[in-house]
Structure 1
Amino acid sequence: MPAPFNAFKQALKQGDTVFGCWLGLADTYSAELMGTAGFDWLVIDGEHAPNDLRSIMAQLQVLEASDSHPVVRVPVGETYLIKQMLDAGAQTLLVPMVDNADQARQLVRDVTYPPHGDRGVGYALTRAARFSQIADYGTTADDEICLLVQVESVKGLENLNAILAVDGIDGVFIGPADLAADMGYMGNALHPDVQDAIMTALHKIHAAGKAPGILSTHDDMTRDALEAGAQFVAVGADVLLLSHAAQALAGKWRDTLT
């Protein structure tokens, strides 16, 4: 029996556009709820949400029953963290702060079994291999792992061509908030200079045959990104959806008293 088929990776390879949402509440109940909403993919965020290995694994478990593909964002591109996330069952990883091709090459090795990579061979004990029930996991897993890297700095954009030349990278995600800050526009990802840099990068990623990705909660930016070739597009975050809806509801009824 081979490793589970990664439909998200196949969709990107086919050039499909898939819409997603961020999961930052770090809770299985809300993750399960989001899995019923109809998104193609959901990011379990290990960088800016209070998640750890066990909470990420628990969310992977509840999302297995949904049609939304889980993408795990690790807090940093460290080999040991990547090994743990893959063994816990993640098949698609999003790695932040990739600034150069050397980092990208090591990440490819991190998600690949020997002799071509550094992933530890202990799958018989893991959830990824259904606790040794997937006998062919070791020989088939590499093909079903999807590696997405985040380029979100001026340095990263300068090295984008070299990063795109690394074999084994499935997609490149442009991080608007960090890029804006690095360009001197903290909190203003909609600044024309930042938008120009983002759209230029998305065009370049698409032209290189990799899948371009973006997070955008502004409709005009989302449309521009789609026109620039973006394929995996996150259009919201559970924290923002809850926060904004709650504030609007509270304000609606509080305003009736004034």
Structure 2
Amino acid sequence: MAALTCTSPTTTVTTKLPNNKIISFPRSVFFKPNKQIFPTLTPLKSSPSPSDLSPIDSSAPLSPSTSSFSLKSRLRNNETLYGLFLLSFSPTLAEISGLAGYDFVVVDMEHGPGGISDALACLRALGATRTPVILRLPESCPTWAKKALDLGPQGIMFPMIESPKDAKKAVSYCRFPPAGVRGSAHTVVRASDYGIDEGYLSSYEEELLIMCQVESADGVKKVEEIAAVDGVDCVQMGPLDLSASLGYLWDPGHKKVREMMRVAERGVLGGGRAYLAGFAMPHDGPQEMKSRGYHMVSGAVDVGLFRSAAVEDVRRFKMSLMEDSDVDADERMQMKDADEKYWSE
């Protein structure tokens, strides 16, 4: 293991490598980290093979590196990202979700029971697994946006955007003056590593994924204009609310709902500026969505996954009881006697 030596309290730190080569680092690398040197942690979902690794040139100078695995950079690379919605606000389930390999997790403050403090614990759990977090706000307003952004998510989702005016307001909530109205506490909040990241102000706009959710008939009518708003990176479709706005709350797969969804999809993709995101449904799976141009697909909700597993567990147990009931009375009596003998010894 290399040993570190601080040659001066203000200049450099030296380290001796296993091959006895000595290299020096600016002291700021260790004592004044920033995102130019330590980029935002983002998921590397598969381990590189030896053939993928390039040899390190020890004579080459160290240079700042940038993340190649942020949500926005992966979208630009034309990847289709698969995610999960976290409604439970359980840090344990958040951690499991990240370890499972989801490309992103949406911490849902709109329909989940948690607020900012609860979301923070989930961000920390997901951060440990290097999984990007998107915070879905309870409503589109500057107060919620400010508090959410200060936590440092990679993305933020604004619900119920119905016009380009709504979208422009949403973007303004994410920008500091004079470009927007976001309140400033960047010297002490988690988003800037509590002020340690000196490059935060110059990089936050580029790194933040702004998502506007279109989930009503009125929103679909304006979807092309919404997707064209400067700063809107992604339009998230909301099929359940859209079906409700059309009068089909119990039938999101209704023909008229699906037709309206196709209109919205074409509106977003036709502009060529914003990416398209959405929820997989029983009648509309992730593969079908990908084929239509979706670049972000949320395939499950943590509560729904647990519900399904729990219901199935109980069903299997009850089915086993029904199968046992087919055993004749004499055999059941023998089994009962055997059990009693076992427990009495």
What range describes the TM-score normalised by the shorter chain of this pair?
over 0.9
User: 1:175-254 maps to which residues of 2 (within 5 A)?
Assistant: 175-209=238-272, 210-218=274-282, 220-254=284-318
Residues 136 and 158 in structure 2, CA contact (< 8 A), matched pair in contact too: yes
Match of 1:148 in 2: 211
Residues 151 and 190 in structure 2, CA contact (< 8 A), matched pair in contact too: yes
| Aligned AA (1:40) | D
Among all aligned residue pairs of Structure 1 and Structure 2, give the percentage whose two residues are the same amino acid: 28
Match of 1:112 in 2: 175
Structure with greater Cα Rg: 2
| TM-aligned CA deviation for residue 219 of structure 1 | 6.3
Q: Deviations over 1:30-70 (max 9, x none)?
A: 11111111111111000001010000011111111214311
- TM-score when normalising by structure 1: 0.95
**Partner Cα distance (2:172, 2:252) in 1:** 32
**Partner Cα distance (1:13, 1:78) in 2:** 28
| Aligned AA (1:158) | K
Stretches of structure 2 that go unaligned for 5 or more consecutive residues are 1-33, 41-66, 323-345
**Partner Cα distance (2:194, 2:284) in 1:** 46
Residues 253 and 283 in structure 2, CA contact (< 8 A), matched pair in contact too: no
Q: Deviations over 1:120-163 (max 9, x none)?
A: 22111101111111112122211111100100000000111221
**Partner Cα distance (1:39, 1:221) in 2:** 16
| TM-aligned CA deviation for residue 191 of structure 1 | 1.0
Q: Deviations over 1:159-185 (max 9, x none)?
A: 112212211000001101000011111
1:83 to 138, 146, 161: 146
Task: Judge which range, 198-207 or 188-197, deviates more.
Answer: 198-207
Task: Judge which range, 108-117 or 53-62, deviates more.
Answer: 108-117
Aligned residue-pair number: 258
Residues 109 and 116 in structure 1, CA contact (< 8 A), matched pair in contact too: yes
Task: Judge which range, 102-111 or 209-218, deviates more.
Answer: 209-218
User: 1:12-91 maps to which residues of 2 (within 5 A)?
Assistant: 12-91=75-154
Residues 113 and 138 in structure 1, CA contact (< 8 A), matched pair in contact too: no
**Partner Cα distance (1:171, 1:191) in 2:** 25
1:124 counterpart SS class: coil
**Partner Cα distance (1:201, 1:229) in 2:** 12
Match of 1:129 in 2: 192
| Aligned AA (1:122) | A
**Partner Cα distance (1:146, 1:126) in 2:** 19
2:181 counterpart SS class: coil
Runs of 4+ in 1 over 6 A off after TM superposition: none
**Partner Cα distance (1:199, 1:228) in 2:** 9
| TM-aligned CA deviation for residue 16 of structure 1 | 1.6
**Partner Cα distance (1:78, 1:238) in 2:** 26
2:226 counterpart SS class: helix
**Partner Cα distance (1:17, 1:203) in 2:** 18
**Partner Cα distance (1:67, 1:180) in 2:** 35
2:76 counterpart SS class: helix
- TM-score when normalising by structure 2: 0.72
| TM-aligned CA deviation for residue 201 of structure 1 | 1.6
Residues 38 and 67 in structure 1, CA contact (< 8 A), matched pair in contact too: no
1:103 aligns with 2:166: yes
Match of 2:56 in 1: none
| Aligned AA (1:54) | S
| TM-aligned CA deviation for residue 25 of structure 1 | 1.0
| Aligned AA (1:12) | L
Task: Judge which range, 156-165 or 199-208, deviates more.
Answer: 199-208
**Partner Cα distance (1:50, 1:185) in 2:** 26
- CA-atom RMSD, angstroms? 1.5
Q: Deviations over 1:1-49 (max 9, x none)?
A: 3473570011223322100111111111111111111111111000001
